[in-house]
Amino acid sequence: MARKDELRLLTKVAHLYYEQDLTQPDIAAQLDLSQATVSRLLKKAKKEKIIRITVNVPYGTYPELEENLQKTYGLKEAVVVDSLENNDMVLRDLGAAAAFYLETTLHPNDVIGISSWSSTLMAMVDAMQALNRPSQIQVLQILGGLGSPSAGIYASRLIGRLADRVRGEAVLLPVPGIVGSPDAVPIFMEDRYVQQALSLFDQVSVALVGIGSVEPSGLLASSGNIFSPEELCMLREAGAVGDICLRFFDRTGNPVLTPLNDRVIGMGLDQLCKVKRAVGIAGGPRKLNAVRGALKGRLVNVLITDRFTAENLLQDTCGESGNNIA
């Protein structure tokens, strides 16, 4: 226990710092102390319970859920948004949260990889504020975007609008997401613009991806970049629960390797796992098993999701650590 005269000094320093908003150098000058002594006194004031710091959590924020997700699944970061269990509301709220995350974490020379055919990613772009000045950021399409004429416009619009928001350069991948035969892939690869885009895959520093269930979304279905009902049935029988960039995985996040994989032109799961910040943006009941699989396989290391999905992701993993998820 500190002596009374020391307690008096501890209290004075704490008062000046926390209630008078003086800086540590200002306190040091006022009390004829060194800044190192002021720092030490503030630490001791906490130890003596003179200073007690509490965080008032605003309604609609979920720091404990986020921390539990991070610990359970070994994530760099989790962002949990407050949203109604309504698909349109979840999409809008996830898009807004993803926009804020990207705005606050961007670096001037980032290479942003972004998948096509995601309504959530378009909601993110719609919610973003434009940067004030031009940047060296490149926005790279990491899944082929050609398909039906209207859908092709959607994909290029997504990439172009994000590039406009970050005042950077758009790099398109001008191929279909799914081709009719593996034999067609090498032909597309001969195009110099395709080669330019593919050469940047290993330089992606931020990947923004949706997490899909095996059953394609309405947007993906309208693009024409889908497998047939028979092929989707084959994927389910092989254990697939979801996909990222049309690369399918099972409930533990392991790739489901079928001949269909050879018809996809886009970033592979092995490449995605090497990205410094692989950001999965998904939520809602339909995506739960897919999101869980992606997390168990460490296919993404940042998750932006809704509260109900977050609670369900933790429900069956109580007591498990990020290293022993089964």
> Do 143 and 267 form a contact (C-beta atoms < 8 A)?
yes
pLDDT digits (tens, 9 = 90+) for 246-255: 999 999 999 9
* Claim to verify: residue 149 and residue 231 sit in the same structural domain: yes
**pLDDT tens per residue across span 214-234:** 887 666 556 556 788 899 999
The answer to the question of residue 55 being in a domain is no
Helix, strand, coil shares, percent, the chain, to 5? 50, 15, 35
Phi, psi of 168 (to 5 degrees): -120, -155
Residue with tokens 């050469």: 199
Residue 223 is predicted with a pLDDT of 59
Residue 52 lies in a domain: no
Q: Are residues 155 and 78 part of one domain?
A: yes
pTM for the whole structure? 0.82
* Whether residues 23 and 99 fall in one domain: no
* Whole-number pLDDT of residue 269: 96
Q: In this structure, is residue 82 part of a structural domain?
A: yes
201 Cβ contact partners less than 8 Å away, ≥ 6 residues apart: 113, 140, 142, 267, 271
What range does the domain containing 35 cover? 4-47
Residue with tokens 């995506």: 287
pLDDT the model gives residue 273? 95
Q: Are residues 68 and 34 in the same domain?
A: no
Q: What is the 3-state secondary structure (H, E, C) of 15-31?
A: HHHHHCCCCHHHHHHHH
| Statement to judge: residues 93 and 43 lie in one domain | no
Per-residue pLDDT at 325: 47
pLDDT of residue 319: 45
pLDDT at 211: 95
Say if CB 98 and CB 90 are below 8 A apart.
Answer: no
Domain match, 120 and 207 both: yes
> Would 320 be classed as within a structural domain?
no
Residues 71 and 167 in one domain: yes
Strands of the chain, DSSP E: 77-81, 111-114, 138-141, 169-171, 206-210, 212-213, 240-244, 247-250, 277-281, 302-306
Q: pLDDT value at position 326? A: 38
pLDDT at residue 221 in the model:
58
Residue stretches of the chain with pLDDT short of 70 = 1-2, 55-57, 85-86, 147-154, 217-225, 316-326
Residue 262 in contact with residue 185, Cβ under 8 Å? yes
Instruction: Establish if 237 belongs to a structural domain.
Output: yes
| Closest residue by Cα to residue 257 from 266, 247, 267 | 247
Residue 215: the pLDDT is 83
Tell me whether residue 14 is in a domain: yes
Q: Is residue 57 part of a domain?
A: no
Give 15's contacts (C-beta < 8 A, 6+ positions apart). Answer: none
In DSSP terms, which residues pair with 113 in a beta bridge? 140, 207
Assign residue 277 the CATH number of its domain.
Answer: 3.40.50.1360
Is residue 113 situated within a structural domain?
A: yes
Task: Let me know whether 27 and 115 are in one domain.
Answer: no
- Are residues 92 and 232 both part of a single domain? yes
Angstrom distance (rounded) from CA 271 to CA 154? 25
CATH of the domain at 30: 1.10.10.60
Give the pLDDT of residue 228: 85
Both 26 and 104 in one domain: the answer is: no
The reply to whether 71 and 95 lie within a common domain is yes
Question: Do 13 and 153 lie in a common domain?
Answer: no
If one counts the domains in the chain, the total is 2
